[in-house]
């Protein structure tokens, strides 16, 4: 029988020994159950899950959401704005944005009812810009079952039914959805995520491009140019240009010309649950939310990883945006693994991008003209049980990507390449994560 010293030594050795399995829990199936799946890696591999800074932030309770809507920044209370009015239009983002609008809608509607607005006179308008039109199932997922049963909704049309509202300082002729423009009270609902053009999505972006016409959208993207400015501050931290940004200023002017009366901005966590809500003026509310989001969503990048795993949740609909995370901390000759467990896969259609890609040419020539994106990677693997060939042919996707429909196939390829002490970096919800950053919003604009 071992003595006490031998017993303690054996216990310490057992606790330090590699586990029989390495499993990582990842959220998947956004909008289709939002489930948690376990992904197993070989015993002994070092797993480093790179969470965003605010991942443990408490979720807002319904009462806290209500108080945020009832205490706006830069505007009167919504019930006071709507008093004596008859009709309301509410623009909301589509399923490419993880925004849980259904958590805010009841609070907004309660304010409108308090002002005497009838349920049938509250119209919801899809603000998807150049994406495809939504169907009833998608709108119900975004707004909630009770909302679509009580209130009408319509799809925006970038080609027709547009009102002309003059020209911006940047020479952009503003055309917006007629139904939205003609309502007595105009509201926007949106969430914040990093975006290359406006710094952050949401806010005035719900108007341009959200409910604007194709000519207005094209002018903002292709004609309005952003001035060259420092990309990082004096400490080398990237700057999200939300204020000093000519394209966003064009969006702001379009929103002002449209006459947006009230806006609700939402910041959410890794499970698509609200952690911060700011209501009020479409610009000031967005600025305040952006100042919060830039810290909440910030994620420190990994270093010297043999394998980088990217989970596209909760924005697998635009999977092409996430491949770049594969280079965040990857060793030369390492492996990139992209996970997109979304039944609809890469489902976004973008009229503006399609026009730029195709230009009247051959589909096959366009596909075959793609160049390798990750020369430092030995392999780029895309796992989805729902994977279709159309996704692998996507002009946005790296042509070296190998698609796999079983996780066992991913593990087999990883184990054949990587031996011994393997470091695995996991970005668990890149659909909302971004690297460390600051925003350029002055105090006077919040």
Whether 314 and 291 share a structural domain? no
pTM: 0.93
Place of tokens 């698509």: 272
Distance of alpha carbon 438 from its chain centroid, rounded?
A: 18
Alpha-carbon separation of residue 9 from 4, 18, 44, 349 (angstroms): 9, 16, 21, 61
Domain boundaries, position 318:
18-51+299-349+373-427
Whether 284 and 187 share a structural domain? yes
CA pair distance 322, 433, nearest whole angstrom: 10
Q: Contact at 8 Å (CB) between 78 and 122?
A: no
- Ramachandran angles phi, psi of 140, nearest 5°: -65, -40
pLDDT at 349: 82
Could you count the other beta carbons within 10 Å of the beta carbon of residue 117? 21
pLDDT at 395: 84
Whether 73 and 154 share a structural domain? yes
pLDDT, tens only, 20-78: 459 999 999 999 999 999 999 999 999 999 999 999 999 999 999 999 999 999 999 99
- Ramachandran angles phi, psi of 4, nearest 5°: -65, -40
CA pair distance 205, 202, nearest whole angstrom: 5
Show the CA angle centred on residue 59, arms to residues 283 and 344, nearest 5°: 80
pLDDT at 256: 98
Q: Give the chain's residues under pLDDT 70.
A: 1-21
Whether 205 and 292 share a structural domain? yes
Whether 280 and 407 share a structural domain? no
Does residue 367 form part of some domain? no
Please state the domain count of the chain: 2
Q: What is the CATH number of the domain that holds 254?
A: 3.40.50.11440
Last residue of a domain, one of 231, 262, 297: 297
Per-residue tokens: 117: 């607005």
Q: How many residues does the chain have?
A: 446
Query: Who's near 375: CB < 8 A, 6+ residues apart?
Result: none
- Ramachandran angles phi, psi of 114, nearest 5°: -60, -25
pLDDT, tens only, 200-248: 999 999 999 999 999 999 999 999 999 999 999 999 999 999 999 999 9
Query: Who's near 168: CB < 8 A, 6+ residues apart?
Result: 174, 250, 253, 254, 257
């Amino acid at each position: 029988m071992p003595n006490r010293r031998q017993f303690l030594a054996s216990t310490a050795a057992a606790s330090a020994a590699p586990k029989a399995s390495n499993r990582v829990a990842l959220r998947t199936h956004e909008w289709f159950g939002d489930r948690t799946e376990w992904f197993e890696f070989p015993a002994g591999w070092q797993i480093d899950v790179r969470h965003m800074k605010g991942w443990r932030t408490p979720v807002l309770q319904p009462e806290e959401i209500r108080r945020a809507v009832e205490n706006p920044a830069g505007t009167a209370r919504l019930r006071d704005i709507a008093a004596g009015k008859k009709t309301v239009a509410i623009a909301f983002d589509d399923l490419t944005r993880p925004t849980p609008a259904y958590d805010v809608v009841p609070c907004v509607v309660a304010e409108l009812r308090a002002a005497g607005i009838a349920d049938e006179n509250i119209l919801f308008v899809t603000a998807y810009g150049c994406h495809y039109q939504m169907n009833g199932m998608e709108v119900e997922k975004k707004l909630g079952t009770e909302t679509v049963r009580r209130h009408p909704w319509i799809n925006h049309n970038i080609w027709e039914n547009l009102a002309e509202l003059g020209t911006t300082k940047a020479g952009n002729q503003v055309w917006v959805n007629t139904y939205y423009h003609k309502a007595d009270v105009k509201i926007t609902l949106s969430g914040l995520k990093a975006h290359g053009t406006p710094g952050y999505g949401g806010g005035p972006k719900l108007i341009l491009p959200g409910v604007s016409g194709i000519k207005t959208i094209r002018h903002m993207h292709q004609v309005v140019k952003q001035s060259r400015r420092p990309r990082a501050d004096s400490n080398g931290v990237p700057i999200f240009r939300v204020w000093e940004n000519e394209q966003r200023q064009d969006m702001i002017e379009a929103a002002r010309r449209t006459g947006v009366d009230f806006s609700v901005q939402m910041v959410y966590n890794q499970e698509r649950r609200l952690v911060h809500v700011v209501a009020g003026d479409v610009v000031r509310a967005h600025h305040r939310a952006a100042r919060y989001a830039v810290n909440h969503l910030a994620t420190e990048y990994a270093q010297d990883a043999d394998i980088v795993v990217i989970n596209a949740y909760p924005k697998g609909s635009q999977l092409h945006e996430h491949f770049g995370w594969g280079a965040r901390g990857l060793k030369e000759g390492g492996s990139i693994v992209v996970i997109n467990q979304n039944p609809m896969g890469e489902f976004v259609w973008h009229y503006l991008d399609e026009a730029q890609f195709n230009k009247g040419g051959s589909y096959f020539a366009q596909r075959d003209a793609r160049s390798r994106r990750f020369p430092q990677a030995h392999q780029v693997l895309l796992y989805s049980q729902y994977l279709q060939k159309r996704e692998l042919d996507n002009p946005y996707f790296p042509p070296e990507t190998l698609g796999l429909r079983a996780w066992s196939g991913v593990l087999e390829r990883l184990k054949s390449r990587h031996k011994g002490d393997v470091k695995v970096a996991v970005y668990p919800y890149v659909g909302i994560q971004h690297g460390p950053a600051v925003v350029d919003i002055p105090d006077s604009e919040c």
